[in-house]
Homo-oligomer: A and B are copies of this chain.
């Protein structure tokens, strides 16, 4: 009785699992940012000692891999709804869904761009994508090439969008912009309202090239 009361007083029932820990981790990152995220704070949020987490995940690093997986599985689900069997339009949907993650989880997104895919779910995701390419008669080399080019572009673009006002630094950059008017005048065209258009422009450039490449070298 007193035991259960104590637990309740500790913010939440422990009720730990890979799922609850990983979900809480993403929430904490969303709220406080990657720098501020710690296993100790996560413990507090889950109502347990930080060390309890280590029974489920061997290290913070592996936990972060799980968060990456969670986000990428979300992307996979998002494009599965469309369910096109055209690889080019799948890649297009994927690119937009990936960028949407950056907008929905701005503080967690750098994980995706920075860490190697290293989990079951992320590999399953890639497997699905590459399987579709092969069904379309696109060979592995072309698949690899365009996957790398498109995914690099998307990662970099989203990261650029998010390399954001880190607090009072904004004042510093504002002062610098005044002193470098050419940077100022070009930067005006990089305001958020223009970014959808620019992103799509660059993406379509690549997809058009893919289309040309698949026509030149058709299904074997």
Tell me which of B113, B143, B144 contacts A156 (CB under 8 A).
Answer: B113
Residues of B within 8 A of A182 (CB): 126-127, 130-131, 134
Pick from B120, B143, B152, B183: contact of A186, CB under 8 Å: B143
> With A123-B176, A176-B123, A202-B149 given, is the CB distance from A186 to B144 under 8 Å?
yes
For the side of the interface on A, what is the size category? Answer: 35 or more
Give Cα A193–Cα B204 distance, bound, in whole angstroms: 27
A114-B114, A172-B118 as given contacts; A186 in contact with B123, CB under 8 Å:
no
Q: Are A116 and B163 in contact (CB under 8 A)?
A: yes
**A196 contacts B by Cβ under 8 Å:** no
Q: Given A156-B152, A156-B155, verify A186-B140 contact (CB < 8 Å).
A: yes
Interface contact A116-B201, CB-CB below 8 Å: no
The binding surface of chain A is classed by DSSP as: helix
- Whether a CB of chain B sits under 8 angstroms from the CB of A10 is no
- List chain B residues, Cβ under 8 A from A179: 123
CB proximity to B under 8 Å, residues A35-74 = 61, 65
When distances are taken between beta carbons in the complex, the residues of chain B under 8 Å from A202 are 148-149, 152-153, 206
With A126-B183, A130-B182, A180-B127 as contacts: A160 and B164 at CB distance below 8 Å: no
Q: Do residues A147 and B115 form an inter-chain contact, with CB atoms below 8 A?
A: no
A residues adjacent to B (C-beta < 8 A):
61, 65, 110, 113-120, 123-124, 126-127, 130-131, 133-134, 140-141, 143-145, 147-149, 151-157, 159-160, 163-166, 169, 172-173, 176-177, 179-180, 182-183, 185-190, 194, 198, 201-202, 205-206, 209
6 contacts between A and B (CB under 8 A): A114-B159, A114-B163, A116-B173, A118-B176, A140-B189, A149-B201
**Given A113-B113, A149-B153, 12 further pairs, Cβ under 8 A:** A116-B164, A116-B165, A118-B173, A123-B183, A126-B186, A131-B182, A133-B186, A145-B201, A149-B202, A152-B159, A153-B156, A155-B156
